[in-house]
A and B are shown apart, each in its own frame.
Chain A
């Protein structure tokens, strides 16, 4: 290799090291720009994929009826998701009516979004949705469906956002178990652990918790500003599949409420109404 080539290689490596020293915000900004560039391709691809899927299902109805049906379905899902939050908030409000900050708790504004693609990487569980900062989306906002929690936004571009799914090992959610005083941290399982890839683990429970299969797990809703304070209280996460006592704590395996591998329509909690 000639001396010039060696110098070129060293320069490229130094350049890469400089780029890697950028802060997380700068990197997210670059990624947002990249997302905006690939967005038309992703949206086109998503539309084609949907059309192929619809053809595969053999659904052939009149365009108008189909459109109306889609709208009603979306509206129904939105109402069901709203209802869930209303119900949870109502229950919580009745308990905390006298609390000083109860005024701050209000109904959330849901922004309907569609998953346009899924991360092609082998190690992360993320999806991309067709809503960005132009629609009012910010990073670290909860994403859910009428069935339960899906994840939270991370990088937000103009018209797209990346959503980190709750089945990812790095997504941690403060959780509580229905019918008990047990609280823990829910996260995705390590790659290859468990029978189903989307199964989650609920850690830091008490050893004597003795949770039963079928018990429901909800978000705990820790104060904003902490690492686990992204999610409002009372969002359904999943059901306990099994429980085991470990030397220091108890661990439950939780089946997610939402089928994260097939979900297509979601809602972003963009704020209070």
Chain B
């Protein structure tokens, strides 16, 4: 039951984040970089959930992300639906490897993990559309648009942890709250 509450809370949070991101304008001072917090939220779930729940979350997050960003031009899909599921599964596997540290109270592993996953996700997206278009290229703007969302996501990661700490006493979710209990002690 606790796991179900945790899973659905995270699923709702990811859904709302996808909606809210639509209203955040590009950050001009960061070369038009966007706020992209979905991988950060997914990583939090992957760090704290059992394996099968993480896989379900990867399917859900990947599908939602692809549906939100699907771009069809003249009958051609630039990035096919489903590729994000594969990417999130790999992120989840990586995060799961770090779960023992997270459970032991090292909550901060979520911060670099969020940075890496966000940047890798955007970089992969960029590589795929570049190949679809006129071939790969790289410039300062592309670098900013990949790195800045990662840094922003990493900045938000402790806030998510704090929010879960506040909510945990009420719902005991998402799942394994031992790290949070230790911190609270």
Binding site for B on A (CB under 8 A): 1, 5, 8-9, 12-13, 15-22, 24-25, 27-28, 30-31, 34, 38, 41-42, 45-46, 49, 117-124, 126, 128, 154-155, 164, 169-171, 190-193, 197, 227, 261
Contact = CB atoms under 8 A, between A and B. Distances in A.
A17 B59 contact: no
B101 interface: no
A38 B18 contact: yes
B81 A19 contact: yes
Contacts, number: 149
A47 to B, nearest CB: 11
Contacts of A123: 125-126, 129, 145
B32 A15 contact: no
B22 A42 contact: yes
Interface residues of B, number: 59
A24 B34 CA distance: 26
A12 B89 contact: yes
Nearest to B87: A16
Given A121-B34, A154-B72, A191 B22 contact: no
Most buried by B among A34, A123, A126: A123
Contacts of A155: 70, 72
B34 A22 contact: no
Q: For the complex, would chain B's binding face be called helix, strand, loop or mixed by DSSP majority?
A: helix
Contact of B81 (A20, A121, A124, A190): A20
A15 B149 CA distance: 29
A17 B59 CA distance: 12
Contacts of B74: 227
Contact of A15 (B52, B85, B139): B85
Contact of B82 (A16, A49, A120): A16
Contacts of A18: 82
A16 B62 contact: yes
Contact of B34 (A1, A122, A261): A122
Contacts of B129: 123-124
Contact of A28 (B21, B34, B72, B133): B72
A120 B34 contact: yes
Given A8-B52, A15-B59, A45-B20, A121 B69 contact: yes
29 contacts: A5-B51, A12-B85, A15-B85, A18-B82, A20-B81, A21-B80, A22-B81, A27-B80, A31-B67, A38-B15, A38-B68, A41-B16, A42-B19, A45-B19, A45-B20, A118-B25, A121-B68, A122-B122, A122-B126, A122-B145, A123-B126, A124-B71, A124-B129, A170-B133, A191-B139, A192-B142, A197-B26, A197-B32, A227-B74
Interface string B18-45: 1111111110000111111000000000
A12 B55 contact: yes
A19 to B, nearest CB: 3
B55 A119 contact: no
A1 B64 CA distance: 27
Given A12-B89, A192-B139, A154 B62 contact: no
A262 to B, nearest CB: 10
Contacts of A45: 19-20, 22-23
B73 A12 contact: no
Given A126-B71, A192-B139, A16 B86 contact: yes
Interface in B100-134: 122, 125-126, 129, 133-134
B137 A190 contact: yes
B67 A128 contact: no
Most buried by A among B18, B33, B67: B67
A20 B80 contact: yes
B83 interface: yes
Contacts of B146: 122
